[in-house]
Amino acid sequence: MLTAEQADAIARTFKALGDPTRVRLLSLIAASRDGEACICDLTEPVGLSQPTVSHHMKLLVDAGLATREQRGRWAYFRVVTDALDTAAHALRR
């Protein structure tokens, strides 16, 4: 059985995944070479502006589903697979 804190964390994960654009962004990052992607490479595939993609990525980072690393003027993102595994596992208990 999940504690209230665990349930809250899992709910944040699923809330972040509740938007199809964010799911696509995670998929694009996971499928990219070296498992990371620059924000500059994410805008065209989803057809959104850089500020909008940055907003979606901030929500994914805040939910613990992605990490962000600043390199010069560009941000690079990686998927946190452990967070996805934890959320999926929580529902199988």
Bridge partners of 38, per DSSP, are 76
Beta carbons of 16 and 60 less than 8 angstroms apart = yes
The 8-class DSSP code of residue 31 comes to H
Please name which of 27, 40, 92, 34 lies closest in space to residue 66, comparing C-alpha atoms: 27
**pTM as predicted:** 0.88
DSSP 3-state assignment of 68?
strand
User: What's the distance, CA 7 to chain centroid?
Assistant: 19
pLDDT in tens, 26-76: 999 999 989 999 999 999 999 999 999 999 999 999 999 999 999 999 999
Could you tell me the two tokens for 20? 């199809």
**What is the residue extent of each domain of the chain?**
4-90
Give the right CATH number for 4-90 from 3.40.50.720, 1.10.580.10, 3.40.190.10, 1.10.10.10. 1.10.10.10
